[in-house]
Structure 1
Amino acid sequence: MLTVQEATPPAAAPAEDCSLVTRGLTKRFRGGQVAVDGLDLAVPRGSVFGFLGPNGSGKTTTIRMLLGLAAPTAGTWELLGTPMPAGMPAVLSRVGALVEGPAFYPYLSGEANLRRYDAADPAADPRTASARIGLALDRVGLAAAARKRYRAYSLGMRQRLAIAAALLGPRELLILDEPTNGLDPQGTREVRGLVREIATEGTTVFVSSHLLAEVEQMCSHVAVMRGGRLVAQGPIADLRAGEVARIRVETPDTAEAAAVLAGLGLAGVRTGDGEAGAELGSAAPERICAALVTAGVAVRGLAVQRPSLEDVFVGLTGEGFDVNG
């Protein structure tokens, strides 16, 4: 169920059903600046969870606290059902993360870079390093480029290598901070497809982003941050449920079209330059088209406009943020 914090505090799902839970998580910096303010998150197991907000809204600070890279001022959190930070030694080996962009040696190959990442993990068995690295490269589609130097990798390949580093061991939770940041359309598609594939294998994926369109295409659930506070969270379908689809008719006969739409009982009938429209409700678009044609309306085009994620967030917050970058 969609929850909007400013209206009613979000009720966290039971911890046993979630891979990540926060309660009142807060971070204040010196001088009184509040980066994250009383954050209550509930990330269902097996979901692709989009953590949305403009740059500077507190997303990366939240991720750093979740991973123990920054200490919260107040609040508690759990990863994979284990209270943090006490449980970090036991849990972090089951969590993969990409935070604030990948960092690799440019003159080493992708495989050699991963060997260094793997060797830095005290829980990794060096006897099985080659198999682990090969599997990670294969999962992200870089097996053929394993011996290629990192400096020759495209941006998409670099992001995929960073995700491979996060997948060197079995992961139940994958945390990705802006994984498509700075990528061209092809690289963005590659990373998006990879996230979907990882999720189908049962891993919970937590994706931080300021790009609404990307989150809309890859995520099942979202949480929205603004100014350090949680605005809303829940399944994307629930966010859209409160928004109204509209039907738009392109026609020179706008007055006649509006009369037909009103006669069909549609609400919110409006006319504009060369078009008429109304709220679709439960009406079938094909029946509307047939009624228009029967009434002699010249229909040049007919389209159903369903609310985008941006429309939903503008309705929730009164303003929007980046759609494509």
Structure 2
Amino acid sequence: MSAPAPTATVPATNQAAVASTGLSKRFRHQLAVDGIDLAVPDGSVYGFLGPNGSGKTTTIRMLLGLIRPTAGVAYLLGRPMPEGGAAVLPRVGSLVEGPAFHPYLSGRRNLARLDAADPHADRRTAKKRIDAALDRVGLLPAATKTFRAYSLGMRQRLAIAAALLQPRDLLILDEPTNGLDPQGTREVRHLVADLAGDGATILISSHLLSEVEQICSHVGVMHAGHLLAQGTIEELRGRTAPTVKIKTNEAEQATKIMIKLGIEDAAIGSPGHADHDHQLVTGTLGAVPAESIMPALVSDGVSVYGFAVDSPSLEDVFVELTGEGFDVSA
């Protein structure tokens, strides 16, 4: 009998809970994911950001071993997938492409069936763990309702509860706030923060820029199958220079001074960007120190009624990376 093949692992120095090298997936003539190198640091909340159809779900399915990549390799918790699935998946909770449960069973009984199918679950603690998972997502009062009576948001939360039936080192959540009202979205946000505080690494796929900015420590930007950039939110924002905004009634003079300082794109804003008495002058800060602008304006006799430096948002970063807006209507 031949010896088993050695098991490859990600070097410990990578400290990556999720990693990939050249990960690609082709469906006939469509290259859905094109050679991406993911690096999700251990203990991070990683926002996998991109419009619908950008390749996020396909990537997640490859990470979990649900489909095989056309090229490249993926790792979860240091083990290659899908080869290491038996060893690593019990430590991973996931929600992929929306919840699917038995419609005529209650939320509690649906979780009980899932738990009973898990060979690693302790039957003696099943009821306690199921109720704890339901309580954590705010569904304990609705535990006896049938799944078909649940709203879309309740179904989404039940799927998250299913991922929490066992302690998890890694949670992979594909669009976890889909269908949730603002209150439900806030609850998921707080839940993610609690889980991260417990030491879990969380990868969240989302097309909602505002949600990623509020709950994630790291971001990877997907577009048309490509991973365009990844890093901490601060690192990604640092790719785009802040915008300086000045409110004045001497806009032309202020614009000339800003251009002289090195803010070459300084320009007077369109009417309505300030109040009736003042105009707004804007420009990209770039390498010009923000603290040098006010003294230059004042020394030339320009009256300044408002001064602000706006840091770039993730939407600004996305526009710079792709050259197009972030369409969340799909």
User: TM-score normalised by the shorter chain: which range applies?
Assistant: 0.7 to 0.9
How far has the Cα of 1:193 moved from its partner? 2.3
1:97-112 → structure 2 map (5 Å cutoff):
97-112=94-109
Which residue is 1:123 aligned to?
Answer: 120
Which residue is 2:182 aligned to?
Answer: 185
Tell me, yes or no, if structure 1 residue 270 matches structure 2 residue 267: yes
Rounded to whole Å, the distance in 2 between the matches of 1:156 and 1:212 is 19
| Helix, strand or coil at the partner of 2:290 | coil
Code of the residue aligned with 2:303 in structure 1: it is V
How far has the Cα of 1:312 moved from its partner? 1.0
Which residue is 1:4 aligned to?
Answer: none
Q: 1:67 to 1:298 in 2, by over 3 A?
A: closer
Rounded to whole Å, the distance in 2 between the matches of 1:262 and 1:32 is 50
How far has the Cα of 1:266 moved from its partner? 6.1
**8 Å contact 1:22–1:77 — kept in the other structure?**
yes
More divergent stretch after superposition (77-86 vs 102-111): 102-111
Tell me, yes or no, if structure 1 residue 315 matches structure 2 residue 311: no
Rounded to whole Å, the distance in 1 between the matches of 2:189 and 2:40 is 19
Q: What TM-score, normalized by structure 2, do the two folds share?
A: 0.83
Q: 1:200 to 1:297 in 2, by over 3 A?
A: same
Which residue is 2:303 aligned to?
Answer: 297
Which residue is 2:78 aligned to?
Answer: 81
| Helix, strand or coil at the partner of 1:123 | coil
Instruction: Kindly provide the CA deviation profile for residues 185-212 of structure 1, in whole angstroms up to 9, marking residues without a partner as x.
Output: 3332222222222111111111111222
Code of the residue aligned with 1:157 in structure 2: it is M
Higher relative contact order (CA 8 A, sep 6+): 1
Tell me, yes or no, if structure 1 residue 206 matches structure 2 residue 217: no
Which residue is 2:275 aligned to?
Answer: none
**8 Å contact 1:213–1:323 — kept in the other structure?**
no
Instruction: Kindly provide the CA deviation profile for residues 112-137 of structure 1, in whole angstroms up to 9, marking residues without a partner as x.
Output: 22111111212212121112112212
RMSD of aligned residue pairs (Cα, Å): 2.8
Rounded to whole Å, the distance in 1 between the matches of 2:199 and 2:184 is 24
Instruction: Kindly provide the CA deviation profile for residues 39-78 of structure 1, in whole angstroms up to 9, marking residues without a partner as x.
Output: 2111100111111222222111111111111111222121
Which residue is 1:9 aligned to?
Answer: none
Instruction: Kindly provide the CA deviation profile for residues 102-157 of structure 1, in whole angstroms up to 9, marking residues without a partner as x.
Output: 12234433222211111121221212111211221232233333334434444333
Tell me, yes or no, if structure 1 residue 225 matches structure 2 residue 222: yes
Instruction: Kindly provide the CA deviation profile for residues 78-119 of structure 1, in whole angstroms up to 9, marking residues without a partner as x.
Output: 111112222111111100000000122344332222111111
**Runs of 5+ unmatched residues, structure 1:** 1-11
| Helix, strand or coil at the partner of 1:108 | coil
Rounded to whole Å, the distance in 2 between the matches of 1:169 and 1:143 is 17
Tell me, yes or no, if structure 1 residue 139 matches structure 2 residue 144: no
**Runs of 5+ unmatched residues, structure 2:** 1-9, 271-278
Tell me, yes or no, if structure 1 residue 25 matches structure 2 residue 23: yes
Q: Aligned residue pairs: how many?
A: 310
More divergent stretch after superposition (306-315 vs 99-108): 99-108
Rounded to whole Å, the distance in 1 between the matches of 2:302 and 2:77 is 62
Q: What TM-score, normalized by structure 1, do the two folds share?
A: 0.85
**8 Å contact 2:257–2:296 — kept in the other structure?**
no
| Helix, strand or coil at the partner of 2:90 | helix
Instruction: Kindly provide the CA deviation profile for residues 281-316 of structure 1, in whole angstroms up to 9, marking residues without a partner as x.
Output: 44249x8399659946262x4433221111112112
Rounded to whole Å, the distance in 2 between the matches of 1:14 and 1:271 is 53
